[in-house]
Amino acid sequence: MSSERAQPKQPRIPLHLSMDDPEPMYRQIESQLRDFILSGQLEPGTRLPSMRALAKDLLCSVITTRRAYEDLEGEGFIRTRQGMGTVVAEIPEETMAAYRREAVDGAMGEAVRAGRRAGLTEEELRDILEETLQREVANVHQGGTP
């Protein structure tokens, strides 16, 4: 953009839409932004691109980006102020914790289902969990990546 009227630069958020994903585009935007916010990669107060600018970057329509922003605003992750644009909201620690916990629950559930598919018993699954815990804890103590 060679224009002098260019908007002040905003952080480019690495969002990505996939047409192979059965989730509709606005849901993909929502979940990716939610993840960035919950993981702290987008801090409270960070300005988000306008709906039009985001639509242009993602090659989707403003109808889609508006849907995503409205949902995220409804869930309290972002807020829009007249003339101020859209920023990441301050999120209560309990909410953050609940979401983190939910992510772990999901991963655990997936691991258990994988075990069932492999024909493992409850006993064997418990053993694996125990072994994994010990191994990972040892890893952390040695300064390795958890």
Partner 1 sequence: MTGTAVLSLKDVKKSYGNFELGPVDLEIEAGYVVAVVGPNGGGKSTLMGMLMNLIQPDSGELKLFGGTYPDDEVAIKRRVGYLPERPVGHDEMSAESLGEFFSRFYPKWDHRLYEDLLKRARIEPAKRFGELSTGVQRCLAFALALATGSELLLLDEPTAGVDPFGRREILEDISRFMECGDKTVVFATHVMEEVRRIADYVLFLADGEFLGLFEKDTLLEEWRIFWVDREPEGDVPGVVDVEVGSPARIVCDSLQETGQALFAQDVRIVRSGVLDLEEVLSHLMRQKQGREQSVSGRRSRV
Residues found near partner 1 in the complex (CB under 8 A): 1-5, 7, 19-20, 22, 24-25, 50-53, 55-56, 59-64
Shortest reach from residue 6's CB to partner 1, in Å: 9
Shortest distance in whole angstroms from residue 84 CB to partner 1:
14
Q: Which is nearer to partner 1, 56 or 113 (CB)?
A: 56
Residue with smaller CB distance to partner 1, 3 or 145: 3
Yes or no: say if 32 and 15 are a contact pair by the CB < 8 Å rule: yes
Minimum CB separation from partner 1 for residue 112, in Å? 26
Distance between CA atoms of residues 119 and 100, nearest Å: 29
Judged by beta carbon, residue 18 or residue 145, the one nearer partner 1 is: 18
- What do you get for the CA distance between the two ends of the chain, in Å? 43
Calpha distance 68→112 (Å, rounded):
32
Cα gap 30→73, rounded to integer Å = 10
